Structure 1
Amino acid sequence: MRYEIPDPLDPALLPVLIAAEDGLARLDERAGRHAVAEGFRERGQFFDAAAALWIAGELVHVEDLVLHDSHMDSRAPSHELTIAHAVLRARRRLDLADADWALSQPGLSALRGDAVPVVRHDSLDPPALRDDLGETDAPDAADGPMDGSLSDAFAEIDAAIARSARLLDIHAGSAVMAEQPVIETQSSRVEPTGQLGLLFDDDWDETARLDAWRAVLPVADQLPSALGAAVLFDAWERIEPLRRQHWLGSLLVGAYLRFRGKVGSHVLAYNTGLKTIRHERRRSKDRLTRLTGFLEAMSAAAELGMKELDRLSLARTQMEMRIRDRRSNSNLPGLIDLVLSRPIVSAPLIARHLGVTPRGALNLVRELGVREMTGRGRYRGWGVL
């Protein structure tokens, strides 16, 4: 599958391109040095994850996502909530990784979930529980020589596995019958189970489609940052590399803008701006209409980010005025940081983070004067609108 690159010099794109470039630059400048930058980034993760599901036609409440992320669900999580939390985790992973990691082949493979978990005995760190696909399980040379009979037996087993994997590939249509050398990797041993039509579409080659999408990257690098990101997102929408993780394309827009240095302070919450674009324009058959809509979505995301920074800055100033004469060991400053880093907080969540009782959490909320947002007697939540 091939994606046709549009004409970057189309006069109709210039006004929206200039507006997007200017808005993103202003947002990056303020978010990089603002007093509430940390809370802005963390809140943006939740809002963007909920917006990603909204664009897909599903409704996920932000307060449910916050509670689910803190393992404090008030009810059994729905399928949509689980997907939204996967988007949230992916965004956090992009935020912690290097700028160019998400666009590399290992990065895309990790975001797809292709890595094979390997338990290590020398570390209990969770990131160490994953290993690259290229590593083999062969014994180390330091373990001593292997018996000859065992070596022959393992060689026959490996050959049988290779022949079985080859036959399954041919049956699934992902390989042709030809006398070619077979390269054994761990990925070739785990892929056939997903190609039998039980979990995935037999005719949907995600690897080939991802390669086709990555082929657009060199062309996008020659364009202005915002236009290159719009072209990449349009290519993702047209090629549709991943059937079960289609939401990843909007996250890669933020990762690409961060890689180009246009928005280096954080991963842009692109879905929040994409919500403002009508579905008819986002899925239009005219490529110029789609690209214009994607660029306008960047401008909208930048504008919403600027308003969020102003809102958080004003809320922080008001709350700090309330605690001006408090004692130095008060928990109220910690509550301010918590409120600014979450779209909504509950009494158990406050008690858990500040190490106080639920009754003490309610007293802190009353003293700080945070607005109650749920309007319910039970499972109440407070936050900054």
Structure 2
Amino acid sequence: MPYEIGKLNFEALLGPITAAEDALARLDERVSRSEVGQGFAERADFFEAVSSMWVAGELVHLEDLVLHDARMDVRAPSHELVVAHRIVRARRRVSRSDPGWAVSRSGIMALAGIAEQEDVAARAAIRGGEGSYMETNERDPLPPELADFDEVLAETSWLVESVPPGSTRSRQPELIVGELVIRDPDWDETERISEWLALDRKVEMLPATLAAAVLWDAWECLEPLQRQYWLGQVLVSDFLRSRGKVQSHLLAFSVGLREMPRERRRARDRSTRLIAFLDALTAAASKGMKDIDRLTLSKRQLERRTVGKRSNSSLPAVIELILSRPIVSAHMVAKAARITPRGALNLVGELGVREMTGRGRYRAWGIF
């Protein structure tokens, strides 16, 4: 069912629109001029990923996400942790791209991995065999052997299906239970993405915050992607950046959306949902301003520790790492400063950063 914009209740939306526009403008100006703006943007990726999973009903610990991103997992990563890390990587990819790239068809397909899957399937169908899409390497004879194995398995599949070759009985494609659990065959992702992109062109005349609210509500209603449900939040943030509302960084609006009660986010009345999203933008901007103030004060306090140190001291590199990550471990500090873990502990102790875990092993420090 297509999403219709219809008639919007501007009398109820005018106040939240004004507050959101003003709050985002202040945040964008503050981040662009702040000395800790880059660190704030990098920290926002982690907070946004954790908040996005929380809104979806999943719990991911911030500490586990940061350590997983640094490839220093304490334990085997869970499925929720892997999804949260995909959000972080997607936000970084969008931040490196031009504003508005993620809202285009090519951007959505690339972030969702649909184009790559179609290319692999096409190459496999042309060359034959499930593993025949592998590129042949003269130095490595293993890929051709694997392709031969796939062809043999395809020719002898009748032994498993109990249908001899040349039989006149037609073999109907069977439903694979595992595939049905992962993907619904009746779910036309391409068509739903086209409907959402068509809506993107219809909201060009609306204010940026209201247009973002409509796009977010449409994404929730249309559900274009079956598995990458979290991608809509990244797209809406990039839409605000393309409209020039938040150009300094990729907004972490799920941090504010987390503050909205579920009854408002999932209300039947669309105006209530749009107002909840606009209030979430205001809350996200308010939290961002407080985080900027906290990081600025922390940087000034940490820089006092470097007074009188030698010019090649590793303390400035450690300070930059601490300001760009919610938490840091000894191995992360050692890797950034190119020193030993024992030296990293000495630098952390010299800076006097707060210990966040409260345990003897796998300790981590950070600024909150």
The interval holding the TM-score normalised by the smaller chain is: 0.7 to 0.9
The answer to whether structure 1 residue 357 and structure 2 residue 328 are counterparts is no
Q: 1:171 to 1:106 in 2, by over 3 A?
A: farther
Aligned-partner residue type, residue 199 of structure 1: I
The answer for the alignment partner of 1:237 in structure 2 is 220
Find runs of 4+ consecutive structure 1 residues off by over 4 angstroms. Answer: 192-196
**202-211 or 222-231, which deviates more:** 202-211
Asked if structure 2 preserves the Cα contact closer than 8 Å seen for 1:251 and 1:270, the reply is no
The SS at the match of 1:345 is strand
1:162-241 alignment, distance < 5 Å: 197=180, 199-241=182-224
The answer to whether structure 1 residue 77 and structure 2 residue 60 are counterparts is no
Q: 1:39 offset after TM fit, Å?
A: 0.3
> Aligned partners of 1:22, 1:207: CA distance in 2, in Å?
36
Aligned-partner residue type, residue 237 of structure 2: G
Partner deviation per Cα, 1:296-335 (whole Å, 9 max, x = no partner): 0000111111111000000000001121111111100111
Q: 1:44 offset after TM fit, Å?
A: 0.3
Partner deviation per Cα, 1:193-231 (whole Å, 9 max, x = no partner): 999636311221111111111111112111000000000
Q: 1:117 offset after TM fit, Å?
A: 7.7
1:145-164 alignment, distance < 5 Å: none
The answer to whether structure 1 residue 269 and structure 2 residue 240 are counterparts is no
Asked if structure 2 preserves the Cα contact closer than 8 Å seen for 1:194 and 1:200, the reply is no
The answer for the alignment partner of 1:371 in structure 2 is 354
Q: 1:115 offset after TM fit, Å?
A: 2.9
TM-score using structure 1 length: 0.79
Aligned-partner residue type, residue 35 of structure 2: A
Unaligned runs of 5+ in 1: 119-129, 139-169, 173-191
The SS at the match of 1:377 is coil
Aligned-partner residue type, residue 109 of structure 2: S
> Aligned partners of 1:208, 1:171: CA distance in 2, in Å?
24
The answer to whether structure 1 residue 290 and structure 2 residue 267 are counterparts is no
The answer for the alignment partner of 2:99 in structure 1 is 99
Q: 1:116 offset after TM fit, Å?
A: 2.5
Asked if structure 1 preserves the Cα contact closer than 8 Å seen for 2:50 and 2:84, the reply is yes
> Aligned partners of 1:18, 1:52: CA distance in 2, in Å?
25
The answer for the alignment partner of 1:259 in structure 2 is 242
> Aligned partners of 2:360, 2:292: CA distance in 1, in Å?
30
Asked if structure 1 preserves the Cα contact closer than 8 Å seen for 2:23 and 2:282, the reply is yes
Aligned-partner residue type, residue 263 of structure 1: V
Q: 1:97 offset after TM fit, Å?
A: 0.8
The answer for the alignment partner of 1:279 in structure 2 is 262
The SS at the match of 1:215 is helix
Asked if structure 2 preserves the Cα contact closer than 8 Å seen for 1:373 and 1:383, the reply is yes
Q: 1:171 to 1:18 in 2, by over 3 A?
A: farther
Q: 1:137 to 1:203 in 2, by over 3 A?
A: closer
The answer to whether structure 1 residue 89 and structure 2 residue 89 are counterparts is yes
- Select 2:312's aligned residue among 317, 325, 329: 329
Asked if structure 2 preserves the Cα contact closer than 8 Å seen for 1:195 and 1:201, the reply is no
> Aligned partners of 1:69, 1:355: CA distance in 2, in Å?
18
> Aligned partners of 2:352, 2:193: CA distance in 1, in Å?
50
Asked if structure 2 preserves the Cα contact closer than 8 Å seen for 1:55 and 1:275, the reply is yes
Q: 1:88 offset after TM fit, Å?
A: 0.7
Asked if structure 1 preserves the Cα contact closer than 8 Å seen for 2:256 and 2:284, the reply is yes
Asked if structure 1 preserves the Cα contact closer than 8 Å seen for 2:8 and 2:271, the reply is no
> Aligned partners of 2:126, 2:306: CA distance in 1, in Å?
59
> Aligned partners of 1:93, 1:6: CA distance in 2, in Å?
34
The answer for the alignment partner of 2:108 in structure 1 is 108
The SS at the match of 2:236 is helix
> Aligned partners of 1:255, 1:171: CA distance in 2, in Å?
41
> Aligned partners of 1:338, 1:193: CA distance in 2, in Å?
48
> Aligned partners of 1:74, 1:194: CA distance in 2, in Å?
34
The SS at the match of 1:45 is helix
Q: 1:57 offset after TM fit, Å?
A: 1.0
Report the RMSD for the aligned CA atoms in angstroms: 2.5
TM-score using structure 2 length: 0.83
The answer for the alignment partner of 2:163 in structure 1 is none
Q: 1:9 to 1:199 in 2, by over 3 A?
A: closer
The answer for the alignment partner of 1:303 in structure 2 is 286
Q: 1:58 offset after TM fit, Å?
A: 1.0
Partner deviation per Cα, 1:149-171 (whole Å, 9 max, x = no partner): xxxxxxxxxxxxxxxxxxxxx98
> Aligned partners of 1:265, 1:341: CA distance in 2, in Å?
16
The answer for the alignment partner of 2:146 in structure 1 is none
The answer to whether structure 1 residue 11 and structure 2 residue 11 are counterparts is yes
Unaligned runs of 5+ in 2: 128-171
Q: 1:32 to 1:6 in 2, by over 3 A?
A: farther
> Aligned partners of 1:357, 1:117: CA distance in 2, in Å?
42
Aligned-partner residue type, residue 380 of structure 1: R
Aligned-partner residue type, residue 364 of structure 1: L
Aligned-partner residue type, residue 296 of structure 1: D
Q: 1:8 offset after TM fit, Å?
A: 4.0
> Aligned partners of 1:257, 1:51: CA distance in 2, in Å?
19
For this pair of structures, how many residues does the alignment match? 323
> Aligned partners of 1:38, 1:242: CA distance in 2, in Å?
31
Q: 1:199 to 1:32 in 2, by over 3 A?
A: same
The SS at the match of 1:321 is helix
The answer to whether structure 1 residue 246 and structure 2 residue 229 are counterparts is yes
